[in-house]
Chain A
């Protein structure tokens, strides 16, 4: 299957700083990428959908100024958590897909963010 690589796998940052998480499709061109957040012992919550070359579409309740998403190329999307606070600590997962009508997306390994 297609491979999606997410980096870093773990990051600890100080409160008030910004953190960037990368999501790369290694062997295919990802026209669409998704960013999820997963709280402990809960399911995935979709944060935003990004299409290459256009602005991301954020889900209701997700602050677009806090969670900056850039999908500048067909193989890379980034999520930047700005001015991070301890409540932003979570597991963030990206997924990527391609083509029209292809309903399968491939997931990255996830990033464990801890804000101290």
Chain B
């Protein structure tokens, strides 16, 4: 079955600390992987995406993610978080045949400690 797992419901980190949000997927075809961020009461903003090529992708706001096919993972990282990074983060997977339909993870809420 196709699925996306974000094992951490919420994560708390101190401002200035590094961050890694985990994402594992199960997908029967070549996966196209996305990370989105949602601020409270807002829509979704694309942070980054992986379609092909270099497995380390850079996104906006200083985020990056690494695609590891052997581990079926696409973890999101940031070397130093800012208070404004507090939000909900969603990992999603899609495929060419999906016609843009994405399978979503449950999300990870990021809490920043001052």
Interface residues of A (CB under 8 A from B): 1, 6, 32, 34, 41-44, 46, 49, 91, 93, 95, 97, 101-110, 112
Selected contact of A105 from candidates B45, B90, B102, B104, CB within 8 Å: B102
Select which of A43, A46, A101 is within 8 A of B107 by beta carbon.
Answer: A43
Known: A49-B101, A108-B43. A103 touches B107 (CB 8 A): no
B42, B49, B106, B109: the one within 8 Å of A109 (CB) = B42
> Which listed residue, A1, A6, A43, A112, touches B104 by the CB 8 Å rule?
A43
B105 engages A103 (CB within 8 Å): no
Chain A minimum-CB-distance residue to B96: A101
- A4 and B43 CA atoms in complex are apart in Å by 10
A44 to B106, CA, bound (A): 8
Cβ 8 A contact of B100, one of A6, A32, A42, A91: A32
A93→B99 CA distance, assembly (Å): 17
Closest CB in chain A relative to B9 CB, distance in Å: 9
Q: Looking at chain B, what size class is its interface with the partner chain?
A: 20 to 34
Residues of chain B within 8 A (CB-CB) of A106 are 46
Q: B99 to chain A: which residues have CB within 8 Å? A: 32, 49, 97
Instruction: Tell whether A103 pairs with B98 under 8 Å between CB atoms, given A43-B105, A43-B106.
Output: yes
| Additional A-B contact list (15), CB under 8 Å, known A43-B107, A44-B44, A93-B44 | A32-B100, A34-B101, A44-B90, A46-B101, A49-B99, A101-B96, A103-B94, A103-B95, A104-B100, A105-B100, A105-B102, A107-B45, A109-B43, A110-B42, A110-B43
B contact residues around A112 at 8 Å (CB) = 41
Nearest CB in chain A to that of B104: its residue: A43
| Residue on B nearest A105 in the bound complex, by CB | B100
Interface string of B77-111 (1 = CB under 8 A from A): 00000000000001000111011111011110100
Interface centre among B43, B98, B106 (most CB of A within 10 A): B43
Chain A hits for B109, CB < 8 A: 41
Flag whether B32 is at the interface (Cβ < 8 A).
yes
Q: In the complex, how many angstroms separate the beta carbon of B54 from the nearest chain A beta carbon?
A: 18
> Are B49 and A104 touching (Cβ within 8 A)?
yes
